[in-house]
Amino acid sequence: MCRGGGIGRHARLKILWTFSPCRFKSGSRYQNLFMIKAILFDYGGVITDGGRGGLSGRLAELLEVSEDDAKAYMQLGWTDYIKGQISEDTFWDRIQSASETIVPRDYRNIWNDWDKMMPMPAMIDIVAELKKRGLRVGLLSNVFPRTAIDIRAHGGYSTFDFTILSCDVGYAKPEKQIYQLALDKLSGIDPTEIIFIDDQEKCLIPARDMGIHTVLALNPQQVWDDIDALLKN
């Protein structure tokens, strides 16, 4: 979750102000001054302020159990489903077996949909400005298949040069293999020339171990300030 809270109109204007010409220079004459050549973003909790929490609460309400019990049931299929290694039916089969509860298909939509996963305007501005500078901008995200389908259908991934989604590639952060896939996409760019932004510290550790610069996301203004500082070093 983006722990800095939501983003309002004035916060977006503040972000745009930091992109003013007196602070933010574009063009090759300035790009050559920077070591950073690519930026990787997480999606939930970074690009959007949704995407973390809520699922176990919805499942608890559906099954009429405690949230702790719901979390335990979800863990039975969480990792496999977020990697796309099992179907949604298998995920629900595991929950139904453990909870001894039949959940009709029409009641199974506990997933984060587009309404919860829309990008924050300020983050759209940041991505657009980085791309305008000539930086490659990719997405590295753990996401359930149902949510990924909805985000893709609404164009939520279209602003990125490439996307690496756990449900597509069979790996999930913090497994090192998924970071290596990102490096493979950025062939010719050294890990020390990349910044990765995520809202969970555990997902930043493998990236740092591989030599990638990292930013722990709290809110859009802080994300931009930290990226800007790294670009200037």
Read off the pLDDT of residues 120-141 as tens digits, 9 standing for 90 and up.
999 999 999 999 999 999 999 9
Say which residue the tokens 């995407």 belong to: 51
In the prediction, which pLDDT does 54 show? 86
Tell whether 126 is covered by a domain.
yes
Residues of the chain with pLDDT > 70: what percent? 85
Query: To 10 degrees, the CA torsion angle through 143, 146, 147, 149?
Result: 100
Mean pLDDT calculated for residue range 189-217: 97
Tell whether 148 is covered by a domain.
yes
pLDDT tens column, 81-95? 999 999 999 999 999
Structural domain boundaries, residue 96:
55-107
**How many angstroms separate the CA atoms of 44 and 40, rounded?**
13
In the prediction, which pLDDT does 59 show? 95
**How high is the mean pLDDT of the chain?**
87
Indicate which CATH number applies to the domain containing 119.
3.40.50.1000
Measured CA distances, 127 to 25, 54, 56, 119, 137 (Å): 15, 27, 31, 11, 7
**How many angstroms separate the CA atoms of 193 and 183, rounded?**
11
Same domain, 45 and 159: yes
Tell whether 1 is covered by a domain.
no
Tell whether 4 is covered by a domain.
no
Half-sphere exposure of 41 (CA within 13 A, CB side): 29
Same domain, 137 and 196: yes
